[in-house]
Amino acid sequence: MSVSAADVKALRDRTGAGMMDCKAALAEADGDVDRAIEILRIKGQASAAKRAGRGTDQGVISSYVHVNDQVGTMVEVQCETDFVARSDEFKEFAREIAQHIAGTGARYVAAEDIPESERESERRVLEEEAREEGLPEDKLEQIVDGRLAKGQKEIVLLDQEHINTDKHEGKTIEQLRQDIAQKTGENVRIARFAYYRVGEE
């Protein structure tokens, strides 16, 4: 079927994908926009998986100081080439991550960064709480797993929804990382961050 330029532009505006990718996805989906978005997501995830193993020795360090001058953050975001690192889009992504960290309780970049000792300690606390609430013993593990997952979202940066929900429509930091990786065609990695509050060590 023929795909109009207006349809391609509309899909590109919604997804940020390349023009030819949008045209191919619409053709494959017989003009169904929702299906085309799904096709682009699948291809983007496959492409991201291939990029994930590539080295990231370029990037930027971005910082943010809140208006009250009491809270500040620094974040290192890595990519593959200096060309991408110098782009406005990449720098803006890093700035937005620094701002997000200032407004949340993130302590780790990814779930695998949480020390096993901390996981085990939190599990013991949650199990004891569940027992005190009189919850059924045979459901205890499932309940604790659910509470652990919920707690993880509060401290793991990649699992959190960006605080600017108007702009990012509830996307997680990991989804935004995947978006910038897809747009740049490079492996993009949030390497580390620091959070500072006046009076706190």
CA distance 110 to 172: 12
Q: Which domain holds residue 135?
A: 115-145
How far is CA 155 from its chain centroid? 13
**156: phi then psi, degrees, rounded to nearest 5:** -100, 115
What is the mean pLDDT of the segment spanning 6-32? 79
Quick: pLDDT tens for 30-40.
888 888 888 87
Q: Is the pLDDT of residue 47 over 80?
A: no
Cβ-contact 188, 79 below 8 angstroms: yes
pLDDT of residue 45: 52
**Same domain? 99 vs 164:** yes
List, for residues 93-128, the tens digit of each pLDDT value. Answer: 999 999 999 998 799 999 889 998 998 899 899 988
Identify whether 119 is part of a domain.
yes
Q: How far apart are CA 198 and CA 159, in angstroms?
A: 26
The answer to whether position 191 is within a domain reads yes
What is the distance between the alpha carbons of residues 150 and 90, in angstroms, rounded to a whole number?
30
Position 55 confidence tier, pLDDT thresholds 50, 70, 90: low
* Range in 22-31, 50-59, 162-171, 172-181 the model is least confident about: 50-59
Q: How many domains does the chain fold into?
A: 3
Tell me how many degrees the CA angle 134-135-137 measures, rounded to the nearest 5.
110
State the average pLDDT over residues 76-85.
93
Pair (96, 185) in one structural domain:
yes
Q: Please say whether the beta carbons of 93 and 113 come within 8 A.
A: no
Provide the CATH number for the domain around residue 172. Answer: 3.30.479.20
Query: Quick one: tokens of 14?
Result: 């919604």
151 in a structural domain: no
Q: Are 39 and 126 in a shared domain?
A: no
> What average pLDDT does this structure show over 181-192?
90
Please check the confidence at residue 186 and state whether its pLDDT lies above 80.
yes
* 84-110 exposure pattern, b = at least 16 Cβ within 10 A, e = fewer: bbebeebeebbbbbbbbbbebebebbe
Average pLDDT, the chain: 86
**What CATH number should be reported for the domain holding residue 43?**
1.10.8.10
Q: Are residues 95 and 165 in the same domain?
A: yes
